Amino acid sequence: MTDTLSQSPTSADVVPVPEFPAQGTMTIDERARDLAERAGHIRNRSSLVNGDAAEIQHDAFRIQLDTLTAHLARQDPPELLDQLSGLGFAWRDIARMRSVCRSVRYDVGGPASFQTARTVG
């Protein structure tokens, strides 16, 4: 399995590590500047890693949603509508969200194709 972070063009590995001077004799100003540069570098790397992690999480949620939608689309529309009703959704709200015309709203018990089920799901 490949490492997703290393494939990303914004991964932390893309950001070059700055060279820091030896810790020998430095003035307070030089030491403060050195620490500020190090902190900035760490913040940049963590920001890139955070962005990559968020992208991976969104991809995972999309896959879960697609899988659940495909599963629900295989159910009969009346059964699916009963489940949604059990969750507190009213048919008029479901119909409005799916842009179902008024004549179809009262014909829920009719035969359904896979495409109709996918539309309701």
Percentage of the chain lying above the pLDDT 90 cut: 36
Who has greater pLDDT, 25 or 9?
A: 25
82/68 same-domain check: no
User: Which pLDDT score, from 0 to 100, does residue 105 have?
Assistant: 46
Are the C-beta atoms of 72 and 121 separated by less than 8 Å? yes
25/60 same-domain check: yes
Residues 35 and 16 in one domain: yes
Question: What's the structural domain count of the chain?
Answer: 2
For residues 95 and 91, give the distance between their C-alpha atoms in angstroms, rounded to a whole number.
6
Whether the per-residue pLDDT at 60 is higher than 90: the answer is yes
pLDDT number for residue 35: 94
The model's pTM: 0.49
Q: Based on the fold, state whether residues 88 and 49 are members of the same structural domain.
A: no
| Same domain? 68 vs 92 | no
Which residues form the domain of 90?
76-121
Residue type, 6: S
